[in-house]
Structure 1
Amino acid sequence: MAMKRLRSPKDCCVAAVRKDPEAAFCEECGQPLARCMAFAECGGLVGDDGLCHVCVDPHLQIIPGATMNAPIGGSVALPFDLYNSSTIDRPLFVTGLWSREKGDWREERLGWETLDPGTRAPASVTAQEFDRAGLHEVEIMWTVATRWRARQENFAFSSRVLLNVAGESAGAAGPVVQISSENAMNGNVIQITDNTSRGSKDDGKVVSAIDMNIHRLDVEERRLGLRGITEDLRVPRSVAFRFAGFGKQQTPALELPISTPDGILAFGRSKTRAAGGEGDVHLTVVDQSGATDTDQSLQLSRRHFELYVENDRLMLRASGSNGLRINGSALGPDKIVPLNDGDVIEPLVKAPGALKLAVRFAREFDRVSLVTVTRTPAIQESAA
């Protein structure tokens, strides 16, 4: 049976990044080309939702041979496999499993976490007591993480199953669950029928795996704290960056999303790529006359800190040897923190007033559309 796939990046965008690994936009559709955090390995792009479909391609399948029995007034166990159909050699980590018929989620027991590429692992949820005949909907939610070095992206998915419970006949042993791949109301139907016919050819067992329709649960991701700054505010991968107070060739030239091969903006003493260096934002310290303060500038590492978007948040990692300050608090090497609107970055711990970078968010509805990074003191053109 063909897999039911989630939405993937456009073919033209994939072709554009294969043609030019440094391209910022797709020439055909004009969309920004945001790389997966593991682009060097997977070559994948992510959309505004931050999902790389090369790395994250989960499925839920009702397993062959499953037989589930329950009388009206009882419960139904729904066995299934979670399957990782990613084509690259990096696992998914299943971090939680829940189910519900209506109302609140019930957390289910899951005795494993790692799901290697091309493999499946068993799980099950229990649909609670059915006290009436008719349609019952069971929703299954699971959360997954994909990891690359020190970074991790989290997502939540769900599948909805419709149970049609028929009334019992006198003397019956109870309804037998029969599963079909028939789609109804964009869901997956499991038919529970009264098993009173001794001559029935249907033994209630699944003959072949049924791949279920799955959906992203972006609202639940924010509610669970997996993604977003708050439940009503997020920083998408398509957010643009503006730089103020910098000199020529010290920052990316245009207001663009992050389109570097590793999905990171590197701030530090190294020159920018446009100027022949390996950095993205060039940092120096200037004195009161606007001239470069060489001694203090040497306190900045060539790659002093990094900014990147992860789980719909703007993250900062202190990558230099001397650390830095955020809103006056010291942050040591290799430490990672989320940034918020109004935060002030001071790259020099021992001279915090020598260089400051203020971060501001421009918001459109529930998303940040522009991040502005303003340096103080500003670079004069003669010093640039």
Structure 2
Amino acid sequence: MSSFQYAPKACCSRSAEISDAGFCGECGEPLIRCMAFQECHSVLDSTGKCPVCVRPELSLDAGAASTVREGGKLALPLIIRNGSHVGRPLFVTGLWTKEDDSHWTEIPLDFERLDPEAAANVGIRTGVLDHAGIHRIDVRIAIATRYQWREEAFVLTSSIVFPVESKDPDGPVTNITLTADQIGAGTTIYNPTRIEQDRSRGIETNTRAIPLKTQRADKVETDSGLRGYDDGKVVPRWVSFAWKGFAEEDHPEEGIILDAAGLLYLGRNAVGRAEDGNDARLVVNARDGSVSKLTGSISRQHFSFYTESGRLCLRVDSQFGLRVNGDAYGRTKTVTLHDGDVISPLRTHPDALKIKVTFEAERDNVTRIVLNRTSNA
């Protein structure tokens, strides 16, 4: 078993506009569309993030810079902007900062939703800077994109490195000299002291926002529970589904979800999307192998699978409901599924039809989900 490497190209977005296309007509890559494809018309990038819906921009307002000396504090006016160019809001669900080797501190926010191209200001103030030299502030921001009942959550990280001058006003200017452990892909060098000195000498300074470099904090996403499972495993959108115990004509070929909405439908109706068809058909068998009359208690489209924030989820579409591990769920309810969970589509006859969910993983990446059907009416 080998991991599938999803690598979309520019041509994939063009092919994705064909509603029933499952693969790119130019490069052959599978078309894994954003859950909000009808609005953003975008396929996911190689990390599973929609580059159109999830476009946060972090920056500092350089116009608010001032000298920073030993024993003082620094105010950092952070600007968070939703850079999406389509009508897709972005939700900021958390912001944390950490100075040098201190602990993470959550910054209270009086907003959550950012409409497209809207921005919000957050004031970050350091503690007392008790020594001259190089200081560093790390920033984590949790963001989410939402569509209908679904949400995809992510964490971005950034670092701001800045110098602190000596208390002695005639002392030497602190130069920024960074070692390898002080700088990274998400580090921005910020010199408010130099800006203030230039300003005092009449030199024109940049009053526009200074962009902050950011990078995806995938480990923080899983460690904080925003994505994946407690054991560190993550279910990507390109996970493969395998079918056991289903009649050959009642299930699709093994593979990833290629539906434009990212949903995998199961119900009484036959396989095929014409007239509310399903990806897999649910049939209850009697002991002699014939179709049991209990099959009539299964809705035409009974429930659906989808992935959300690195987890496998189930949505109940039937008015009759169903059970997961014996617990009953009604229509429109969503359930996060785990390795070994058992789905009973018939709430009043849970033993008549069961589907066991099994995860197969490489390291912490779930590459294959086996759906094993058993029926005993």
Instruction: Tell me the TM-score range normalised by the shorter chain.
Output: 0.7 to 0.9
Q: Helix, strand or coil for the counterpart of 1:13?
A: helix
Partner of 1:263: 262
Partner of 1:127: 126
Within 5 A, what are the aligned runs for 1:187-202? 187-193=187-193, 200-202=201-203
CA separation of 1:88/1:16 partners in 2, compared to 1, >3 Å: closer, same or farther?
same
Partner of 1:236: 236
CA separation of 1:41/1:272 partners in 2, compared to 1, >3 Å: closer, same or farther?
farther
Within 5 A, what are the aligned runs for 1:113-192? 113-170=112-169, 186=185, 187-192=187-192
Deviation at 1:28, TM superposition (A): 4.7
The AA in structure 2 aligned to 1:344 is V
Alpha-carbon separation, structure 2, partners of 1:62 and 1:9: 33
Within 5 A, what are the aligned runs for 1:320-359? 320-359=318-357
CA separation of 1:35/1:196 partners in 2, compared to 1, >3 Å: closer, same or farther?
closer
8 Å contact kept, 2:98–2:137: yes
Post-superposition Cα deviations, 1:253-285, rounded to whole Å, max 9, x if no partner, equal 2x2111101101111112222677532111111
8 Å contact kept, 1:84–1:119: yes
Alpha-carbon separation, structure 2, partners of 1:363 and 1:237: 14
Deviation at 1:206, TM superposition (A): 4.3
Within 5 A, what are the aligned runs for 1:252-331? 252-253=252-253, 255-273=254-272, 277-293=276-292, 295-331=293-329
Normalised TM-score (structure 2)? 0.88
Partner of 2:3: none
8 Å contact kept, 2:69–2:165: no
Within 5 A, what are the aligned runs for 1:352-371? 352-371=350-369
Range with bigger deviation, 214-223 or 129-138: 129-138
Please tell me whether residue 222 in structure 1 is matched to residue 233 in structure 2.
no
8 Å contact kept, 1:346–1:356: yes
CA RMSD, Structure 1 to Structure 2 (Å)? 2.6
Alpha-carbon separation, structure 1, partners of 2:334 and 2:285: 27
8 Å contact kept, 1:33–1:45: yes
Structure 2 unaligned runs (5+)?
Answer: 1-6, 177-182
Normalised TM-score (structure 1)? 0.86
CA separation of 1:337/1:168 partners in 2, compared to 1, >3 Å: closer, same or farther?
same
Match of 2:24 among 19, 26, 30: 26
Structure 1 unaligned runs (5+)?
Answer: 1-7, 179-183, 379-384
Partner of 1:381: none
8 Å contact kept, 2:351–2:375: no
Between the aligned residues of both structures, percent identity stands at 37
Deviation at 1:226, TM superposition (A): 0.5
8 Å contact kept, 1:266–1:306: yes
Deviation at 1:361, TM superposition (A): 0.7
8 Å contact kept, 2:340–2:358: yes
Match of 2:374 among 354, 373, 376: 376
Q: Helix, strand or coil for the counterpart of 1:44?
A: coil
Q: Helix, strand or coil for the counterpart of 2:359?
A: strand
Post-superposition Cα deviations, 1:152-190, rounded to whole Å, max 9, x if no partner, equal 111111221111223233489xx99x9xxxxx7643211
